Structure 1
Amino acid sequence: MIPNTALTEDRPEEAASGAEAVYAQKALRASPADYFQLLKPRVMSLVVFTGLTGLVVAPVDMHPLLAFVAVLCIALGAGSAGALNMALEGTTDALMRRTRGRPVAAGRVTKQDAMAFGGVLAFLSVSMMWLSVNDLAAGLLALTIVYYVVLYTMILKRRTPQNIVIGGAAGAFPPVIGWAAATGVAPLEAWVLFAIIFLWTPPHSWALALYTTEDYANAGIPMMPVAKGAKSTRLQILLYSLVMAPVACVPILFGMGGISYAVVSVLGGLFFVFLAMRVFLSKAGDHPEGGENSLYDVKKEAVAARNLFAYSILYLTALFAALLLHHAFTGV
């Protein structure tokens, strides 16, 4: 029951305890689905997929059981980072329409429970990887979790519009971890896969930020459109796309992908740049201070940004699927 503020406004201690009681009642309603949501399953699925690709592309046949354990550890590590991120970002998430339904932001899971859940998963994932696979893979997995939770979530996210550029490296580590799990080393080829995801992350994330700018502004997060404006963001999306598309073709030079990968990387990259150009040419947010955007401009930018965001996920998935399938079926 919601406390009666008319009866408690002169008794702050009772008001505080009443609010805590309501929050506790909400937290008691946590379900297994809420804890599953803490893992950020959609993000986890992409992390697991790219990690598995690194493991399969590596020129070593790994024992199936060890490969399963390695992929499981990557999944648990990604889930732990997601849970810890939600625990730390509960207050901020509650201010944003896109994230206010998350378990901690909505009060269904307490911050302490989410922290404990994430901490246990982090310990299990790293220790299992170390004991069952090898120390390099375990070390890279631990670095990824710390990088995302501490460097990105706690330090960079609220301090610089370059948060997603620097912090995005956390999402680029999984194929390197997978490669290291299979071979015990992390050669240049693994870091090429890292570079593809690293360069893909800014245009992917900033496309989302362009049509959720108000959310980030309300939450006080200096994402690029909030800190530098839409025009600067659109330019940087295009520049990163122009660099990322050729880098995505580099695995061809290393013999890491067959004809299918060449087709996906070249044609898919060209279409990525085309969509980035459409975002760049949209005009919302270009008016001087005090000016107004036409409804047409706003809709044009939102549609272009949404299209790029949706396609970027398909593009990265197709790239790594082409690599994975080539090596799975040819064994090369």
Structure 2
Amino acid sequence: MKKVKWGILGCANIARKAVIPGIIGADNSELYAVASRNKEKAADFAEEFDADKYYDDYQKLLEDEEIEAVYIPLPNGLHKEWTIKAAEAGKHILCEKPLSGKSKAEAEEMFAAAKKNKVKLMEAFMYRFQPFVIKLKEMIEKGVIGEVKEIKSNFAFDISDRKDDIRLNAELDGGALNDIGCYTVNISRYLMGGLPTKVANFFEKETAAGVDLSGSAILYFEGGVFASLYYSLNSYNEQDLELVGTEGIIRIPGFFSWLEDNYFLLDKNGEVERIPVETGPQYLLEVEAFAEAVLNDTEVPLKVDEETYANLKVMDAMRKSAAEETVVKL
């Protein structure tokens, strides 16, 4: 089987713990090179994962003609620069979410560069390849709980004491919305199959010029469906999802924790049924799906208009709502 040769721009934890193991485990992919601005770190990464090459400069990796695709786990504020440079170097790109930490308009520049250079670009929302997430979507479409009336999505943990954490760095587009709030937006849109028509959002900020430490939003979808979102980098751990319908409720404890022993709680007619669900290797599945699109020259599974632009459009509206303290229509 032909395999896509991957290069990694940056030695972030998400690369070490999740995506590189996914590349190594994928049938249609192989790890070829890693890069870091710290030569020793790059060398250690290459040795740890048996990569053929390592570079102490991102641009040098992009100039390697053997590399077909790159994964970008860099801080949000560097996504645009290196996505465009990767596209110009003729590399297909899997970039961590959010594709842009600033706006939909910035993402449009990135996709324009990909289109101009005839390479594929996909935002890395790995959880969307989870079997239990796909099963949840099927249950909603089958009307297991009737018509959905509310989605309650909470993703929170506390890193407020880590002052050097890039997720708390405003210059690198950190903040709760970009880091984890994007997931709560994404799952709400995915389950509803479209965009909300109105958005109201509030932020708690460390300082006026600082990042959002936490936020809460209401998304209103046509037909009277509400999504209640809470996302925080300074709260007690909570990663639960709940869907309230006209005929029942589905609760998924630890939804955003991607637990191996995950399950759904289906509450109908006063009885609660515990439904075991299949959990898959989401990063490997993501890598395989992207590599398949590269090898077969087909569209990437998470499409730009339906996915990336839609998510960022909602996030833009949430920022506008918080700044102006008003409801924003989409």
Q: Same fold (TM over 0.5)?
A: no
Give the number of the structure whose residues are more often helix, by fraction: 1
Structure with the greater alpha carbon radius of gyration: 1
Give the number of the structure whose residues are more often strand, by fraction: 2
